[in-house]
Structure 1
Amino acid sequence: MVASRLLNAMLRTRQELEDIEARTLAPYAMASRASRGRRFPEPEHPIRTVFARDRDRVIHSAAFRRLEYKTQVFVNHEGDYYRTRLTHTLEAAQIARTVARALGLNEELAEAVALAHDLGHTPFGHAGEKVLNELMTPYGGFDHNAQSLRTVDWIEIRYPNFRGLNLSFEVREGIVKHSHFQDRPAAQEFDASTYPCLEAQIVDLADEIAYLAHDVDDGLKAQMLSVEELNASALFRESAAAARAASPAAEMRVLRYQIVIRMIDAMSTDLMTNLAGELERSKIRSVEDVRKAERVLASFGSAMGPKVEEIKQVMRDRLYRHYRVSRMTEKAGRVLDALFQTYMTEPRQMPEHVLARAERYGEPISRAVADYIAGMTDRFALDEYRKLFDPNERV
């Protein structure tokens, strides 16, 4: 009994954690107790803030687990050490947390948005999204940001009294107001004329920082990029020079990691520094000021911005259009096209629960097909393709 009372006295309650936020967060940070709440009211958790609870719900979702076997650039079976959509998400979340902490923002909100931002991604990365969007054009199109929101709002089924994960307004808004959101129909619920809180804005940049750095790493590792090609980028050249100066005798494998570390550090530091200056110049003093700023406040500085665009172009020219990536892209397109056409022609080839959901809620078959395909991992899509089209494969 004494031990139990002592333990309870040591535990921080949700109210105490919210008090700590009130004392330590910047005035333009999104405080947990100021959340607009959930679509379906729920009792507050005794020891977790609203955004910590959102983060945990995302991590425990089926969609989050499936990211482990979804493509980032390289299809999953190309090699166990390449980044997947899951490892990319974790790397982006860590960068977002670091930036949020340095600026006095709400780390838990930034992390929750980062962990959820790719839940709606198709198998086979952006190639899969491009194909599925083309196939869905007559039926309203497909966008992975909107699909991420649909995943947490509708597709995940974990609670008895409502569909979805019932995340907070701010996390849901951060998911759908990712990148260029003004023309995204799903963003209209959140007033597309306003900008999301800073925690969501920095996730956009953390996403860029993570994928640029790790695609360089994976591209070099796969020997689909060379140092000579990457030297066309000032960001790479400068990071490589600093790495060699610090460790002139290091082997290439270690040097590669050191270059990537310096790239991440350079971009993250620039983002933090530039955003801090922008907040001061624009006299941002509250979350409402952020929302009504009429522009994105989080961006790279005038020197770093062109360097980031430069390395993006190098990656587009040298990695994303590499013949091996093109082969994977075309293969992915053929697989998803065949699956889509087959399910649309005969929907009963999908599992019964998919059809039952569409019938119960009056959803178009096209959207049910898109949901089913978007939720697939790379290997599940390939297995399904074999089962449908290989006469020697068991169904």
Structure 2
Amino acid sequence: MTAADERLRRYPFNLSEGLEIDPAYAEARSAPGLLRVQLPFGEPAWLATRYEDARFVLGDRRFSRAMAAERDEPRNQPYRRPGGILSMDPPDHTRLRVLVAGAFTVRRVEKLRPWVREIANRLIDDMFTAGPPVDLVEAFALPLPVQVICELLGVPVADRSRFRVWSDALLSTSSLTAAEFARVDGELRAYMADLVVARRAEPAEDLMSALIAARAEDGDRLSEAELIDLCIAVLVAGHETTATQIPNFAHVLLARPTLYRGLHDEPDRVPAAVEELMRFVPLGAGAGFARYATEDVEVGGVLVRAGEPVMAAIGSANRDESRFPDAAQVRFDRPDTAHLGFGHGVHHCLGAPLARLELQEALLALTSRLPGLREAGEPVWKTQMIVRGPRHMPVAW
């Protein structure tokens, strides 16, 4: 067993601006054991940086998310975020996940492809009409997933712009005070509660109506608070990460024009490109959502004691040379793309099939219709957010 290094490292390592991955991760992967890190708030944690260690922590049932509610969870902000489904363990987690999973099966999501393609191409038409330069985020990357997830959830068109403010606040790391965060969270919950009341009175063909119906069939399976939490989780997670990854993918590809043009010439390679870019882009500013050991567990040769938190650095794990040869290169011919970009284990991203479809259609629309796309200025990067990506990205063609 490896001797544990108890020295505390300040964390996270990455800067908010850009998509570079800090060299500290490569150093950690090459050294034995786990890192001991201290986030701005909360107790110290172990950090798993290698692929096998991160995958193990994410998938092993001896690590609990629910225990975080009882502890001073490592975090970047002073306030505690509402738990919801991401802070549950089985069987409670399983009970809620099953209710939503039916809406995001690969077969059901695939039926949405023509509609998503139509939205993507309509947005490209609007970009042509506006003429260059345009902000790729505002004109394309944000409205595509927002329109899709709001339509699925049943959010009225007139209200969709409000979710940008709420989503930014919920995913902020330190730009809000605890009081400000509580106010924004309260506004969103009040809005969602009103929408639930409206959908209960007049059901529609959307996910919210389906969740309400599931609760009505067996009232003890889904409480009112759980219903609201689920709708918020689906809404925020369902658009923010995809809206961020679209310009991230574009930024990576436009810096490698041969790869971008290759997708124009061979559009059937787009699905492989999405998987490779999910692996390559370190979306998170750092690891999050600590898992607590429910008993003594050995990870990476280190004995993690019961009650100690471990964080999985997914961005680092996806750059692990022992799992992905040439990990620092973008390769669409990579034979193994079993990345952790959508997580792993019981908390594997529920909306992964929808995210994949949206990212595929976004890349297909951009590369097929804008083969001469280029950045028309420096991107303005998000700061003090859980995810990294451009807030504005001027492009021309």
Give the TM-score normalised by structure 2.
Answer: 0.25
- Greater RCO, 1 or 2 (C-alpha within 8 Å, sep 6+): 2
Which of the pair is proportionally richer in strand? 2
Give the TM-score normalised by structure 1.
Answer: 0.25
- From the CA coordinates, give the structure whose radius of gyration is larger: 1
Which of the pair is proportionally richer in helix? 1
